[in-house]
Structure 1
Amino acid sequence: MTQTSTGASAGARQPVRLVLTPRAARPPRVPLLTWIHQRPEFRAGVRDAGGGRSGGRPGFSDAVIIAVVAQALLPGLFHLLQSWVDQQRTEVSVRVQAGESEVEIQFNGRTDATKLIDQATRALRQAIESGGGPDAAA
């Protein structure tokens, strides 16, 4: 148990890269980046991707946001995303990357943020166990 706990706390410090792509059904009342930046712990690590391109995915906007945060901040960020989605009545596609592993998650009005956090955490744990985690930030 102690080894797992130590590994989990060390993993929680490792940065995780997220690519957030909001749905573009209509202009949001509050832009997602503005919503996230209301929380000081996310201001430094979350930014507009710039360039205005989302890779041409149909139905998604050009407002792509890049976030690099500690794994320990994922629950707070996911709950923020869920509250924004609920307020805007829209969707967000989130690609979570750690090392060589990547998982894509869709936030919508029916999403349970806790289940998504669990899904992302499992994917990140697998990345760390396969050796891709610690060197991912380099």
Structure 2
Amino acid sequence: MKTIEQKVANLLTTNAQVIHDLALDCLSVTLNGFIPLKQLEAVCQHEFAMIQALGLKKCLVDLRGVKVYAPGSQDLIKDVWFPRVKEEGVQYIAFVVPEDVFGQASMNKAHAKSQQAGALQVEHFRTVADAKAWLLQMAVR
């Protein structure tokens, strides 16, 4: 039987970067500025495809550049993104929190149910270095 290897390219746009971090073997996402809902939906779909194709179990999401979420984005993250990454097998998510107080409030609202995600372990950090250090310590089950 032939094995088919599926490849999904990194996504690099003006305000979204979705890459496979080889050193951490994780999905690494960086969001900056205001991201319209349709664009965020496309970014999420790309994330799901990368997680699935590469069998990734860890995510690093850098939200320091986000000031406010577009209308509907909080619901997308809470009701679609968290359940889907869990369904795809992600076990650990490290978020780097927004520097802007309004960005923090938006993130907190979007992440309100994340701790109810069961097998998904979610932590929030002030620096990328701390988030990476935590992910390196997490053993994939």
**Fold in common (TM above 0.5):** no
TM-score bracket relative to the smaller structure: 0.3 to 0.5
Normalised TM-score (structure 1): 0.32
Higher relative CO (Cα under 8 Å, sequence separation at least 6) belongs to 1
